[in-house]
Amino acid sequence: MPFEYDPEAKLLAKALWEGGHKPIETERAMGRIHAIPVPARTISNWAKDEGWRHWKLAKAEIAGGSNPNLPFGVSGIKDPLLHDCEVIAKKYCRQEGSRSGPIKPVIAQALMVVINEKEPPQAVLDYLAKVVLRPYIINVRKNNLPSYMFDMPASTQAIIDALNE
C-alpha cells in the first residue's frame, strides 16, 4: 500500500509548484520550510494527475511582469487589487496569527480567504505569501497585541501599517 500524505501537504506542494518552483525546489521547500519530506517525483506525479498549472508558465509570468517597486507591478492591472488582497490577508492574520503556533497554516488560510473574496492572479498570492505575511505575523506576535485591538477603522489601521514599515 503506497504512503498516504496529508491533504494539506498536497496543497502546499501545489502552491509552490504553481508559484514557479521547479520540482526539486518544491521538494526542498517542502522539507526545509514545511518539514514534510516529499520526493520530487511524487510532486511531479501529483501535478500530472491533478492537472496543476505548470511551474514553467508561472515562473515566466512572475519573471515577466512582477515588480513590487512599480505601481501595480505585482498584479499587472491598474486597480487596487494588490492593496485589497493585502488588507484582507492582514486582517485575517491579525485575528488568527496572534495565537502561538506554526505560521505556515495561518498564511495558507489567509491566502484561501483572499482567493475566496477576490480571486487574484497567482503573482499576487506569491507576493503576499513570500514577502508580506510572514514578517507581518511575526510582528503581530512580537508586539503581543490581543485581537480585539484590531477592530478599528481602515484609515487608522492604514496609518499604523505605514508606521510599521
pLDDT tens for 89-99 read: 988 988 887 77
Residue 65 has pLDDT above 70, yes or no: no
For residue 151, the one-letter residue type is: D
The grid coordinates listed for 17 are: 509548484
* Cβ 19 vs Cβ 127: under 8 Å: no
pLDDT tens for 116-146 read: 998 888 888 988 998 889 888 888 888 765 4
pTM listed for this prediction: 0.44
The torsion region of residue 66 among left (phi > 0), alpha (psi -120 to 50) and beta comes to beta
For residue 67, the one-letter residue type is: N
Query: When comparing pLDDT for 4 and 105, which is higher?
Result: 105
Question: What is residue 1's predicted lDDT score, i.e. its pLDDT?
Answer: 46
CA distances from 138 to 16, 90, 97 (A): 21, 12, 8
